[in-house]
Amino acid sequence: MIGKIVIFILVSLNTVTINGEEIFSLKTKYEVEIEIEGTDQNSIKQGMQNAFSSLLISLSGNSTILDESSVKKALKNPEKFINQYKLEATENGLISIFSFHGDSLRLFLSQNSLPLWVSKKPLILSFLPCKEDSNYSIDIEERVICDALEGSLFELSQSRNSKVMHPIMDLRDITYFDSLNSFSATKFMNKMKRRYLTSSWLLCFTRDSFGILLESPLCQSSESSDQRPLKQTFNELLDKLNIKESLVVDKSRKNQTLIKVAGVSDFSNLEKLVGDINSQVLVFDTLINEIKDDEVLISISHYGKKEDLLSLLGKNSGFEQIILQSGDIISYKYLNT
């Protein structure tokens, strides 16, 4: 069996951030470490497919992307997207580390009109009543189920590039918890989310409405009141959250946007600036119109709306927007010098 997939991010000078947090889908390079069964070609290719699948889910922010016909076709030849790999023997078995270039992956998504998730990690308020139940430390069977539930939630949040927070359970939270049975779970969690200033929540039960222990926990979320297994509920919640922060390159719509960039001190900086602009997933051409002192006037040809491009540049740590009077050319200060 293929073991747990863990994604490691290479640190690079071109790291993209929002408020100091890296945006996963806009990184320069990726490394995916995964357990494989052997050194034969079939095992290595299976590892490549699993690594590629995991990375595509993370880049798109969508767990259903593997159902797309273009993705199914690409998964038959994952080696096309891998620039190198290495094998290592560990105490727990054999692992392989696969390296991917971010630009080629984003190009694949854009060419096939697949979403690119461009946001910081979503924050989800998670509540497990079994952890607060006074019988938790007494009922061994429920404790095993509850601990497994907590562990699975942590692994899911890691694999889906999200953050899970839990209530601090002070006197106020305990009062809410004691009243849980008096009103619906949705109302209870909505009260909690207002206190913790989050928009999304997840609630999982180990017992049914009659207090009988469930064989498998059931969960519901801020996106659906239906009670279903954790993985299904969590993935659907993340898919709906991420689609709101995803970008689909519309190649049928082309635009040209003029921007001014300050802070370009020499030819080397200019080359780097043009390279950074051209690496943006929406951009297909750039033209330097004018250079004056350390300012460069650039015409950018791109797909989608002007607002899409500006939003993308705004998420790049190398560009700091300069606020000018309305009607002036959109200006940035270039920081990757």
Q: Which residues contact 14 (CB under 8 A, 6 or more apart)?
A: 27, 28, 276, 279, 318, 336
Comparing CA positions, the residue from 41, 111, 113 lying closest to residue 79 is 41
- Which band of pLDDT confidence, cut at 50, 70 and 90, is reported for residue 137? low
Question: Average model confidence (pLDDT) for the chain?
Answer: 85
Stretch 193-209: mean pLDDT: 90
Phi, psi dihedrals of residue 96, rounded to the nearest 5°: -130, 140
- Which band of pLDDT confidence, cut at 50, 70 and 90, is reported for residue 26? confident
77-91, 179-193, 302-316: which range is least confident on average?
179-193
- Which band of pLDDT confidence, cut at 50, 70 and 90, is reported for residue 325? low
pLDDT, tens only, 108-129: 998 898 999 988 899 999 999 8
Q: Which residues contact 334 (CB under 8 A, 6 or more apart)?
A: 261, 262, 263, 264, 269, 273, 318, 319
Total count of residues recorded for the chain: 337
- Which band of pLDDT confidence, cut at 50, 70 and 90, is reported for residue 21? low
Q: What is d(CA 214, CA 296) in angstroms, rounded to the nearest whole number?
A: 64
- Stated pTM of the model: 0.77
Over 70: is that where the pLDDT of 49 sits? Answer: yes
Q: What is d(CA 235, CA 207) in angstroms, rounded to the nearest whole number?
A: 22
What pLDDT sits at residue 251? 81
Supply the angle between the helices 102-111 and 41-60 in degrees, to the nearest 10.
70
11-25, 128-142, 165-179, 251-265: which range is least confident on average?
11-25
Q: What is d(CA 319, CA 324) in angstroms, rounded to the nearest whole number?
A: 15
Task: Decide which of 138 and 127 is more confident.
Answer: 127
pLDDT, tens only, 242-298: 998 898 888 888 999 999 999 998 999 999 999 989 888 889 999 999 999 999 999
Q: What angle do CA 106, 246, 108 make, to 5 degrees?
A: 20
Task: Decide which of 182 and 58 is more confident.
Answer: 58
Comparing CA positions, the residue from 86, 13, 79 lying closest to residue 46 is 79
Over 70: is that where the pLDDT of 8 sits? Answer: no
Task: Decide which of 249 and 81 is more confident.
Answer: 81
What pLDDT sits at residue 18? 38
